[in-house]
């Protein structure tokens, strides 16, 4: 039963591996001279996704969040393992889940080479492995005073969708429909991360909210930052709701956007814009790294905003 299930839903050719699914271990031969970038992310139903996201959405998102970590490191995706606990062997669910999983896997050239399958409350744990040339990984610790702070894409859509779904923010249905896919169809910025090798000084993916994630860069780099709230790129539909404090929180402190936040020297502006083109996503300058520690967000009047919520804490209730 378990082996049928693995054979049907999780076994695909893996030409980039020496040996894929089916033995006690997968065998992988890294490209000579490359460093391996390894990341794991676990997703629990009710906490990281909802049954409303649908199984294909869950398959997509569970791999997307891991690809996003590879992207934030500037790594090229190679292999993944998938450990999954399922309450029941639901064929229709598994078919849709693996369709969502393999669609994004193929789009990013990552191969499923192993995993574990067991009965239990729906939980998905993925380990993704990528490669990066020695010394070129985009670490959190490389930001320097004077760097520009950049983000890719737009921020806030996923958090707005969650706030809408949870009844914390009223949105017109036509607007809600525009942000809801951000919750279960995030796009990992893999090509951008690769294009930023040798250009960005530091990078992180925005999974817990801009302020919290940029805060990790500031901490690791022992610097501070000043951001211009008006410069932060938000989805067009969000503008009509920005007068609501909860909507502003979604932009600055909302999680689950999976955009990249990174820093680079001002001399690299042209190169960063070219990396955005290569990565197929807009890149926007939102502030500056400062010698003075701390994170200040200035409003349109130049005055610092009072920020209450800075990000998603995994141990908050
Ligand atoms: P073992 O008992 O040796 O750990 P398993 O019976 O758990 O092996 O798994 C058999 C094979 O199927 C292994 O190659 C394992 O990596 C693979 N596998 C199990 N579950 C999954 C999954 N959900 N996705 C991909 N491969 C899986
Ligand atoms: Mg096992």
What is the tens place of the pLDDT at every residue in 14-32? 999 999 999 999 999 999 9
Sequence-ordered strand ranges (E) for 99-252: 111-119, 123-132, 148-152, 202-205, 224-228
**Mean pLDDT to the nearest integer, 271-297:** 98
Q: Is the pLDDT of residue 311 over 70?
A: no
Burial 126-140 (b: 16+ CB within 10 A, else e): bbbbbbbeeeebbbb
Q: What is the structure's pLDDT at 184?
A: 87
Average predicted confidence (pLDDT) for the chain? 95
pTM score: 0.95
Q: Which ligand is nearest to the CA of 83?
A: 1
Q: Is the pLDDT of residue 317 over 60?
A: no
Q: Can you tell me which atom of ligand 1 is nearest the CA of 114?
A: 16
Q: What is the structure's pLDDT at 161?
A: 95
Q: Is the pLDDT of residue 33 over 90?
A: yes
Which mutation among 115, 125, 128 tests ligand 1's pocket best, with the greatest number of atoms within 8 A of CB?
Answer: 115
* Cα–Cα distance, 290 to 288 (Å, whole number): 6
């Amino acid at each position: 039963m378990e082996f049928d299930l693995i054979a049907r839903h999780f076994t695909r050719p893996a030409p980039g591996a020496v040996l894929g699914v089916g033995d006690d271990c997968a065998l992988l031969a890294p490209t000579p001279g490359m460093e391996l970038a390894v990341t794991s992310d676990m997703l629990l139903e009710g906490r990281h996704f909802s049954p409303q996201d649908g199984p294909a959405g869950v398959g997509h998102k569970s791999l997307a969040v891991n690809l996003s970590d590879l992207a934030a490191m500037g790594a090229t995706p190679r292999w993944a393992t998938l450990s999954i606990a399922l309450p029941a062997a639901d064929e229709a669910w598994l078919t849709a889940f693996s369709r969502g999983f393999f669609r994004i896997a193929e789009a990013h050239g990552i191969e499923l080479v192993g995993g574990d399958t067991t009965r239990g409350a729906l939980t998905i744990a993925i380990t993704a492995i990528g490669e990066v040339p020695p010394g070129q990984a985009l670490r959190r610790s490389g930001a320097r005073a004077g760097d520009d702070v950049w983000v890719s894409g737009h921020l806030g859509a996923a958090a707005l969708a969650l706030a809408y779904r949870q009844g914390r923010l009223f949105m017109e249905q036509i607007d809600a429909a525009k942000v809801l896919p951000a919750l279960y169809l995030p796009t990992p910025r893999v090509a951008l991360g690769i294009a930023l090798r040798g250009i960005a000084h530091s990078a992180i993916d925005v999974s817990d909210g801009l302020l919290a994630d940029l805060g990790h860069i500031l901490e690791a780099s022992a610097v501070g930052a000043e951001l211009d709230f008006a410069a932060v790129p938000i989805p067009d539909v969000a503008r009509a709701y920005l007068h609501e404090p909860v909507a502003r929180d979604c932009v600055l402190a909302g999680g689950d956007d999976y955009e990249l936040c990174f820093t680079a020297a001002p001399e690299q502006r042209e190169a960063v814009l070219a990396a955005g083109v290569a990565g197929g996503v807009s890149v926007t300058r939102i502030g500056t790294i400062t010698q003075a520690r701390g994170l200040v967000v200035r409003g349109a009047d130049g005055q610092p905003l009072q920020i209450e919520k800075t990000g998603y804490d995994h141990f908050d209730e």
